Amino acid sequence: MNPFSAAFQRAVHFGYLAAVHLPDSKEPVPEAVLAQLDDAEREHALTLSGYRQVDWVGGRLALRGALGAMDRQTPPLLVNNWGAPVLPDNLAGSISHKRTLAVGLVARSRHGSVGIDLEDLSPPRERIAPRVLLPEELAAVEALPPERRWTAIVLRFSMKEAIYKALHPFVHRYVDFKEALVTPDVDCTADVQLRLAKGEGPFRVEARYTWLPGRVLTQVRIREPRPSRPRRRKKRKHSEHRQAERSAEQGGAVANSAAPGTNVDGDESV
């Protein structure tokens, strides 16, 4: 596997996903690889070193791979004040990297904001559970046989990091792990209930996960609910129209015909 080469690219439920192999090395990223970036990205990459440089470049190449699949001329994909990747307004995107793999997910922003996360399945780190899970989630994990608990924890942990990345553009603040309740289903989706400490929202959250060799990959899409359309008034029946017209011609109130049992002055009839 050549470092920084494409690992896979595919259309997924929430957009287009691309992955790039990373070298497990702190060596500076070769110039030939940096040359695949936009000039401004390359300049940013040169301010980084060690694994951070490798990860950052890998994430950009993955995001560029996903953007390329959407047939885009790619502008520089820099960083906002919170560390999130910056894409053109009409696109939403997210990055994750773990030692030997970087992934990038891109979608059209009119469909919502997206978040992606990659986590290693080993070594197990069950001790993180009380810090990242709500009491209901801990109870669900503890009800499982011991050998299934870690994957249940890391799946929820990864989902929450993907939720954070997708949610951040809406809330612009740190969101704690206890602000989302994640209930994975066996069909590779998960139910997510947000319990946002500052009461933002409502939001529609969709979540999916995939098991990769030795890893879990989670993807989240967050949207604001569609504005509800004003309710259309029911058309009055033709006969009611005629009656209303006759009533108006006779100097009566139209309201009278629409509210049986009420006289022209609006008093309840006896």
Ligand X SMILES: CC(C)(COP(=O)(O)OP(=O)(O)OC[C@H]1O[C@@H](n2cnc3c(N)ncnc32)[C@H](O)[C@@H]1OP(=O)(O)O)[C@@H](O)C(=O)NCCC(=O)NCCS
Which residues contact ligand X (rule: CB under 6 A)? 55-56, 59, 82-85, 94-97, 117-118, 160-161, 163-165, 168, 175, 177, 179-180
The residues with which 191 forms a beta bridge, in sequence order, are 183
CB of 260 to ligand X, least distance (A): 54
* Contacts of the segment 123-126: beta carbons below 8 A, 24+ positions apart: 124/150, 125/150, 125/154, 126/150, 126/153
Angle at 161 between CA 219 and CA 158, to 5 degrees: 70
C-alpha span between 103 and 65 (Å, rounded): 9
Q: Is 94 exposed, middle or buried (0-12, 13-18, 19+ CB in 10 A)?
A: buried
* 133-172 b/e (C-beta count within 10 Å ≥ 16 → b): bbeebeebbeeeeeeebbbbbbbbbbbbbbbbbbbbbbbe
- Backbone phi, then psi, for 191, in 5-degree steps? -90, 135
Residue nearer to ligand X on the CB measure, 141 or 163: 163
Q: For 5, which DSSP code?
A: S
CB of 151 to ligand X, least distance (A): 17
C-alpha span between 107 and 138 (Å, rounded): 33
Residue nearer to ligand X on the CB measure, 61 or 244: 61
Residue nearer to ligand X on the CB measure, 182 or 244: 182
Residue nearer to ligand X on the CB measure, 96 or 256: 96
CB of 179 to ligand X, least distance (A): 5
CB of 52 to ligand X, least distance (A): 8
CB of 84 to ligand X, least distance (A): 3
CB of 56 to ligand X, least distance (A): 4
C-alpha span between 27 and 253 (Å, rounded): 86
Structure-block tokens of residue 115: 């978040």
Residue nearer to ligand X on the CB measure, 3 or 252: 3
Residue nearer to ligand X on the CB measure, 192 or 244: 192
